Chains A and B, each alone.
Chain A
Amino acid sequence: MSSTTSIQPGASDPVDGGQSHATGTTAGKPGKERRVRRIPNTKKHRIDPMYYLFLVPTLVVFTLAITLPAVMGFLYSFTDSIGFGEFDVIGFTNYIAAFSDPAILASYGFTLGFSLVTVIVVNVISFLLAVGLTSRIRMKVALRAVFVIPMVVSGIIIAYVFQYLFSNSLPAFGQAIGFEPLATSILANPNLAWLSIVFVTAWQAMPMSMLIYIAGLLAIPAEVYEASSIDGASGWKQLWTITLPLVAGYVVINTIVSFKNFLNAYDIIVGLTNGGPGTATRSIAMTIFSGFEGGDYAYQMANATIFFIIAVALALLQLRVTRGKAAL
């Protein structure tokens, strides 16, 4: 009935404004009678104060809980604070030290390397599973339900389960088949421990990318396949020449989203190796948290700031890519 109000704010003003005022919106101040609801060409509409109540408390809490700590951390990174007591401003000393600190460099090397490998593993496996689960198979619903389970399981708890398997069952298997590298626990092997982290992280991250790929595959019109079948293409050829190019956008989304998540790796590593053996599998997050105990508070804040810059770069890349996709 009032479909025109949005276009002609002037006409509906008196009725509209008067009524909402009478029913007791918090528009208590005088001068609120004339309300121009829609965005007029020249002036801004008057705003119901209730909208501020919807937003401002959240803004305040958000600022105190997120922005304030972020700014604090940034400022602390230029000091020699140990987390309490007095401190001096020391400029970029922490940053310079961080760039030549083997422990920090090793944690970046490990985290970036592990993330890269895991991203590839997750994408390949989840894509293949998605293709399988969208083809003409039996027990489709049950199988899909099973493959999503890892997503709902707590990372650290499943890591403990795998820790048992890796340190007991896998060595037993390795001894049985006489394969040297597996005969002892890979968790205790500085060169192989990271593989266990890749495995469990991929195990848990797989469902999310799989669901995204399934959505992408279902968006491909059936006619495309029918047309190519008539042309004689089938099976693997269709997968490579039709399916893969058509879900390319989803590959990009999956790659960036999972890479961002893996950079924060913590829970699963705590459950599997706790950063060991030695410091072979210490992630960036673990190194930063060490600042809470070792008197490295300000120093690790510098590390956190460096990490933040990397995260921002990745997020910008993500926005750029997803926006580019939306424009397609």
Chain B
Amino acid sequence: MSNTTTPATPRDQSTPKHGGKNRRDRANWPITIVLIVASLTVLVPLYVTVSMSLKTTEQAVSGNAFSLPWPINFSSFAQAWAMTDFPRAFTISVLVTVATVAGTIVLASLASYAIVRNWDRRLFRWSFFYLLATMFLPFPVVALPQIKLTGIVGLDNPAGVALLHIMFQLSFSILLYTAFLRSIPDELEESAKLDGASTWQTFWKLIFPLLAPMSATVGIFAFLISWNDFMMPSLITSDPSLQTLPVLQNIFQTQFSNSYNVAFASYLMAMAPAIIVYLFTQRWVMSGVTQGAIK
């Protein structure tokens, strides 16, 4: 465990930046060039998405995928916007994702705190292993009964999707939180409690802020899984007008068929938010993913 925590801190990873400061070795240009070429496999599909969405329908249908759009045509965005009712799907996606991220962070951190501080109690100890069980349980295994049950209790909608996203994120998040909580010395809480803080206050005012780095990791994973998921919302939500953005792309496939520019405009609008969020939070995403994945 100890050897895995060291490399995960973001500062460690950014040290190679100093390479620019004329250290003893020169930059390795052959590797740089190979990597730049390799990065085209990532950039070209994104370029195609952008350029296709800016083409006119004739251009998109007849020309090749890599040609530059000319004349630049923004109307496909308006068409996709109206056709898929983008604002509604976007709102639903945001609500599901926000609920998943907030719910996962709050429920997992509270449960982890209770578990770690009462480890000598059988209920708490067993709850830990019980909640970790979803690590053994892929969604497809329980999907059919879940579709049935959510239908019965009226959760065959985005709220049910968010709830299930949270429940499937619990095991991984609790594993991260409990590992971190065990490293926080008890003395810290003892003094807070001597000062008259209740367990509730101690958690929110003292422990929860200390958990911030773990919450970032947990939140990033919850965000990526919830925002990009297709499988669960497509199966759980019964009303197509309440679907999230990824599912919408599937629903509108037949209507997209003859106008690639509209289809790609729609794909771009659905992909862009996550990419933009990523570009602004790169450092946390990278360190968070590394930390979470290695645990």
Binding site for B on A (CB under 8 A): 1-3, 5-6, 12, 15-16, 19-20, 22-26, 37-39, 44-45, 47-48, 50-52, 54-55, 58-59, 61-62, 64-70, 72-73, 76, 83, 129, 132-141, 143-158, 160-162, 164-165, 168-169, 172, 203, 207-208, 211-212, 214-216, 218-219, 250, 253, 257, 260, 263-264, 266-267, 270-271, 284-285, 288-289, 291-292, 297, 300-301, 304-305, 307-308, 311-312, 315-316, 326, 328
Contacts and interface: CB of A to CB of B under 8 A. Distances in A.
A55 B246 CA distance: 33
Contacts of A1: 191, 194
A37 B190 contact: yes
A242 B198 CA distance: 53
Contacts of A164: 48, 52, 65, 260, 263-264
Interface of B: 1, 3-4, 6-8, 12-14, 16-17, 19, 25-29, 31-32, 34-36, 38-39, 41-43, 45-46, 48-49, 52, 64-66, 107, 110-111, 113-115, 117-118, 120-121, 123-124, 127, 130-131, 133-149, 163-164, 167-168, 170, 186-187, 190-191, 193-194, 196-200, 203, 224, 227-231, 235, 245-246, 249-250, 253, 260, 263-264, 267, 270-271, 274-275, 277-279, 282, 285-286, 289-290, 293-294
Q: Describe A's contact surface by its main secondary structure.
A: helix
Given A154-B270, A155-B228, A155-B230, A58 B170 contact: yes
Given A51-B114, A136-B25, A219 B6 contact: yes
Looking at A73, A141, A153, A219, the one whose CB has the most chain B CB atoms below 10 A away is A153
Contact of A161 (B19, B110, B170, B267): B267
Contacts of A208: 289, 293
Contacts of A16: 193-194
Contact of B145 (A20, A25, A76, A132): A76
A143 B17 CA distance: 12
Given A297-B144, A315-B136, A146 B274 contact: no
B199 A168 contact: no
Contacts, number: 322
B66 A169 contact: yes
B190 A137 contact: no
Contacts of B13: 214-215, 218
A218 B275 contact: no
A215 to B, nearest CB: 4
Contact of B194 (A2, A270, A288): A2
A129 B38 contact: yes
Q: Describe B's contact surface by its main secondary structure.
A: helix
Nearest to B44: A165
Given A20-B196, A136-B19, A137-B31, A212 B228 contact: no
Given A16-B193, A135-B31, A165-B45, A23 B170 contact: no
7 contacts: A144-B286, A203-B41, A211-B286, A212-B294, A216-B7, A219-B6, A304-B141
Given A55-B124, A143-B39, A219-B7, A50 B26 contact: no
Given A48-B198, A157-B271, 19 more contacts: A16-B194, A19-B193, A20-B193, A20-B196, A50-B199, A55-B127, A58-B170, A138-B32, A144-B286, A149-B275, A151-B224, A153-B228, A155-B230, A156-B246, A162-B45, A168-B64, A264-B139, A289-B235, A301-B144
Nearest to B201: A23
Nearest to A45: B120
A94 B97 CA distance: 38
A103 B234 CA distance: 23
B293 A212 contact: yes
Contacts of A39: 120
A212 B292 CA distance: 10
Contacts of A297: 144
Given A212-B290, A218-B12, A307-B140, A2 B32 contact: no
A304 B267 contact: no
Nearest to B256: A160
Contact of B144 (A132, A139, A300): A300
Looking at B121, B133, B144, B260, the one whose CB has the most chain A CB atoms below 10 A away is B144
A2 B167 contact: no
Contacts of A54: 110-111, 113-114, 203
B119 to A, nearest CB: 8
A315 B142 contact: no
Nearest to B45: A161
B27 A137 contact: yes
Contacts of B194: 1-2, 5, 12, 15-16, 19
A266 B264 CA distance: 21
